[in-house]
Structure 1
Amino acid sequence: MSEAVDENRKIIEQSIEFLVPGMELARDIYSSDGKILFNQNNILSQHNIQKLGNWKIPKVFVYSEVATANPITDPKLQKFINTYNQSVPVVQKAFEDIRSSQEIPLDALTAAATDIASDIAGAGNVIDRLYNLPPCDDYTMYHSVNVSAISALIAIWLKYPPESVNAISLAGLLHDVGKSLLPPELLHMPGKLSPDDYEHYRQHVAYGYDLVSKIPNISQSITAAVFQHHERRDGSGYPGGITDYYIHPYAKIVAVADLYDEGMTINRENPQAELSPYVSLQTLRNELHRLDPKICITFLDNMTNFLSGNRVSLTDNRQGRVVFINKEQPARSMVRLDDGTVLDLREEENISIHYIIR
């Protein structure tokens, strides 16, 4: 396949470890079997760079100047991003302390959770920006801060008072604290877990409950959220298999945030898969019978307001811009293709939105 190279722009060959978000590809990138992985002129995000590392691609050709796509101009959004970046190392150190002492440094985590809850209000399309930020090496840290932020935002949308929003943000930050006591090799194991490994993995809920319940004067609502965030209202969850009436509202909020973020940040069975908010929202829609409907629909309705107008790639590799969100099936919304054709994906059985083009 020939490529139209802009000879007026300087091209450099860059090692993967020196790539930064915003660099523009000067050549198509192919897999070893000839499949195209990224097109020329693709603007690299942190997630794209991680994928190149997963594919063991040592070097790529990029234009020497860095593109300034989607600059952050909203001061409230920038303030939240600063808070997010400061919170990740706080959580990382807290988890390290827990591994060594089995005690939770509550003051540091409470301060981080309160800052997250305070700064996320009114910060615009925060959730989409979360997945453009460079993650830390430990997925659990990144996931914990994301769930804290998303849980706080859901609580704000549900009109909880500020003190409850702060508590829900802290519950999100602590929800997976029990994973600090699991073997690292279990947490980072690729592929689908065996039944024995999965049973071991599920123990993180009990470990987390034990850790949190030892904190003097900790809110029982936070303890419940940590213990119950994998419970489902139809009784299909764990550890207790309890039903809707017995699940704490904080746990129901954290459950929605947790499921959405897992869909956006991890795919054990296919680590090279693209991560799409349209697909993650579709997963939540499909789980309405197991999750709290009011919380789920509030999240879906608010999120879809942010997703119209994105440039996307479809599962058949065509590209276009989302012009209308189908709230019932977000991955099957209406897209104006680059050739001007408007495609209603509800009418296309074998085509859906694959991923957002960054």
Structure 2
Amino acid sequence: MRLISINVLKTGMVIGRQILNEAGLPLIQKDVVVTDGLISRLKQLDIQYVYIEDKISQGIEIEETVPIAVRKKAIKQITNAFNKIKGLDQKSASLVIEKQTKEIGNLVDNLLDSILNNEEILMILSDTLLYDDYIYQHSFQVTLYSLAIAKEMGYSESDLRTIGIGAILHDVGKMVTPSEILFKPGRLTNEEFETMKQHARSGFDILRNLHTVSLLVAHCAFQHHERIDGSGYPRALVDYEIHPFAKVIAVADVFDAVTSNRVYRKKMIPSQGIEIIEAGRGTMFDAKVVDALKKSVVHYPNGSILLLSDGRRGVVSKQNDDDAALPCLRIFEENNQLLNTTYQLNLIEEPNIAIEKVETEYILEVE
């Protein structure tokens, strides 16, 4: 199967991967033939990309690092924990979260098992269909990215657990942010943005009095929007003033934000998200954390069409764990001519060949 933009999805194509709704339940089954009505439905749901089956990608499989059942259970736990503090004052919210910390710790332990027992680079494939659920899915995905980054950086299991809990709870302050600001479809006014920025301090105030987790968890919430050049908020801290755990979560937070659907912006593919992070390497983001992200997450998901610098096109067939930026390809086209027989190309073995671009709107002429 291969990944294509919804913009070029056509009647008669075959869906290659089950599409799930916001609750993790099947919305569209694998092998369904695309109709005009189905395309309209997907566009209404603001789905950006789908997987289709065709001859050039036959047999290429896509599997997320964390199974959908684990994802569904984790997001449900996060949703339940966060919803219990809606409308509460900070002291009451602290008491409620205090009662949830054992469950949250167990959740992190389960995710850690998935991350530590899997030597492959992290692959997350998701669409957030309802913006009201974004915070919960975002918290889950930031946790996965944070754990993958921290694992790559060599943190101990104890530190990984603290980072994981900090990542799950990094946005807990948004539960006391007015929903009309949190989910506003347009640009925030200066006054609204100042209100939005208070979620970092609110999260710190909710978490700092917990007796069942480290105070570092509260600092993860407080500092995840700080930037090492002092351009962040709420305190405009600089490099040495920001805790290393918060630096990890800051990168994971931005990477997930740009690669997920948002109410005000379409999602990017992972390689585009990495470019955004790379642009802030050493200025906004800690260089070591950025380098760890680039090593630990998939840049080009299986099924992506890549155009190479020598004019060849191929579909990503598998990942190279030794270099996440250089996958293996199934070459199907040379100089705009389809090949009668495809062949494999490992980009690690081709140092003189560069990836020119990802082509999510590529269409086979025979289609």
TM-score norm. by structure 1 comes to 0.71
Secondary structure of 1:339 counterpart: strand
Quick one: structure 1 residues 310 and 345, their matched pair in 2 at CA, closer, same or farther if it must change by over 3 Å? farther
Q: Which structure is higher in RCO with an 8 Å CA cutoff and minimum separation 6?
A: 2
2:45 paired residue among 36, 48, 53? 53
Instruction: Give the deviation of 1:27 after TM superposition.
Output: 4.2
Match of 1:20 among 6, 19, 28: 28
SS of 1:185 mapped into structure 2: helix
Answer yes or no: is 1:251 the counterpart of 2:246. Answer: yes
For structure 2, the 5+ residue unaligned runs are 1-7, 15-20, 48-57, 337-351, 363-367
> Whole-Å Cα distance in 2 between the matches of residues 27 and 250 of structure 1?
47
Q: Tell me the amino acid that sits aligned with residue 290 of structure 1.
A: M
Aligned-pair identity (%): 24
Alignment counterpart, residue 131 of structure 1, candidates 126, 144, 169: 126
* Contact residue 274 and residue 355 of structure 1 kept, 8 A: no
CA shift in 2, pair 1:287/1:29, >3 Å: farther
Range moving further from structure 2, 19-28 or 167-176: 19-28
Moved more, 188-197 or 208-217: 188-197
Please give the root-mean-square deviation of Cα atoms over the aligned residues, in Å: 4.3
Give the match for residue 166 of structure 2.
171
CA contact (8 A) 2:205 2:218 kept: no
User: Partners in 1 of 2:246 and 2:42 — Cα distance?
Assistant: 32
Give the aligned partner of residue 303 of structure 1.
297
Give the deviation of 1:117 after TM superposition.
Answer: 1.7
One-letter amino acid of the counterpart of residue 285, structure 1: E
1:221 alignment counterpart: 216
**Shift of residue 196 of structure 1?**
1.7
- Tell whether the 8 Å contact from 2:128 to 2:137 is kept in structure 1 after alignment: no
Q: CA deviation at 1:181?
A: 0.8
1:230 is displaced (CA, Å) by 0.5
Q: Which residue of 2 aligns with 1:70?
A: 61
- The equivalences for 1:151-170 within 5 A come to 151-170=146-165
Q: 1:121: Cα distance to partner?
A: 1.8
Q: What does residue 143 of structure 1 align with?
A: 138
TM, length-normalised to structure 2: 0.69
2:82 to 80, 95, 115: 95
The 3 A distance-change label for structure 1 pair 25 and 68 is farther
1:121 alignment counterpart: 116
* Ranges in structure 1 where 5+ consecutive residues have no aligned partner: 10-15, 31-36, 39-48, 56-66
State the secondary structure of the residue aligned to 2:315: strand
How many residues align? The count is 307
Cα gap change, 1:108 to 1:23, in 2 (>3 Å): same
Q: Which residue in 1 is equivalent to 2:52?
A: none
Give the deviation of 1:118 after TM superposition: 2.2
